[in-house]
Amino acid sequence: MYRELQEFVSKKKPIALATVVEAGEKNRELPGQKLLLTESEVFGPLQDHPIGAEVHRLAAEALKQRGVHFRQITAEKVTAGIFVECYHPVARLLILGGGHVARPLAQIASLLQYQITVVDDRPTFANNQRFPGAAVVCDEFIPALQRQTIDPATSVVIVTRGHRHDLACLEYVLQFQPGYVGMIGSRRRVKLVKEHLARCGYPEEKVNRVHMPIGLAIGAATPEEIAVSIAAQLVEVRRGPGGVPTSTAEEWELLTRTMEYVNLGQPVVAATILRTRGSTPARPVQKCWYCLTAPALEPLGEAAGKRRCAGMP
């Protein structure tokens, strides 16, 4: 099963990993057994166990959601506690246009754990000095878009200079199913764009999913305020009903490093925050990993160093 897990981790495909963490005295062999579920396949010894079908159902339900899950299940006279971790594609933000709004938007989106790509055809606007930490593409917009992956984990913000390339970019993006599409523009211009798309035969439902004018209506005036309104709308869509579950790049990195230790035969301890109460900077899903053979117990992850995790070893 770990070979299959390694394969899906390398591709960052959606997976749910279910582990039995507790069972009754008559089922001492169950704790630690796992089931790996992808969008189309299932692996692991649990699939052949009498509780396998119920674990499969629980993992499939969890895969549609975010975070980690713990459930008590009873099947075939066996009661067990099942812990399910889900990993989804990393949230990507594709910013078309590197102008005055794009720069603060990229800064805010980075804090929101997006992987950011900025496209502009002007070298003075499309460079890593202007957008540190982002993937920057300096090219004509459509050729650049043709090299991008646009899927439900991708959010697209269209803010090209003077709206010159907005419509062409929008028409290209509407061929796909991004999780979010937003285009800047006045209400009058938005009306004209919608009329054009209707004449071109684009389904009304698809056109209505485009956020234009872009951003939440907070009275934004400056480029920075507009960036805040767009970022807030990205969060609203991602966390709202119908939002596509995503994972952070760090969560995938932790899983990748764990697999490296496993492949080397080194023991690893993983602690995952399931629930929190009261005021705390920690959140569910945060992890702390310790490689037991590393010098001084190497801590990895977002939760490393926080009080509860620091006491793990």
Report the share of the chain in percent with pLDDT over 90.
57
Check whether 313 has a pLDDT greater than 70. Answer: no
The pLDDT, as a whole number, for residue 284 is 52
The pLDDT, as a whole number, for residue 307 is 40
Domains of the chain (ranges; CATH) run: 2-87 (no CATH), 92-239 (3.40.50.720), 249-310 (no CATH)
**pTM of this structure:** 0.81
Is 281 in a helix, a strand, or coil?
A: coil
Angle between helices 187-199 and 166-173 (to 10 degrees): 50
Query: How far is 148 from 93, CA to CA, in rounded Å?
Result: 11
Query: How far is 117 from 89, CA to CA, in rounded Å?
Result: 15
DSSP assigned state of 138: E
The pLDDT, as a whole number, for residue 106 is 98
The pLDDT, as a whole number, for residue 290 is 53
Mean pLDDT of 36-44: 90
Question: At a CB cut-off of 8 Å and minimum separation 6, what does 307 contact?
Answer: none
Of 178 and 255, which is predicted with more confidence? 178
- Give the N- to C-terminal CA distance of the chain in Å, as an integer: 27
Structure tokens at 92: 């990507």
Is 128 in a helix, a strand, or coil?
A: coil
Most confident range, picked from 99-103, 202-206, 300-304: 99-103
The pLDDT, as a whole number, for residue 7 is 78
As to burial, measured by CB atoms within 10 angstroms (0-12 exposed, 13-18 middle, 19+ buried), residue 24 is exposed
The pLDDT, as a whole number, for residue 294 is 52
Of 6 and 196, which is predicted with more confidence? 196
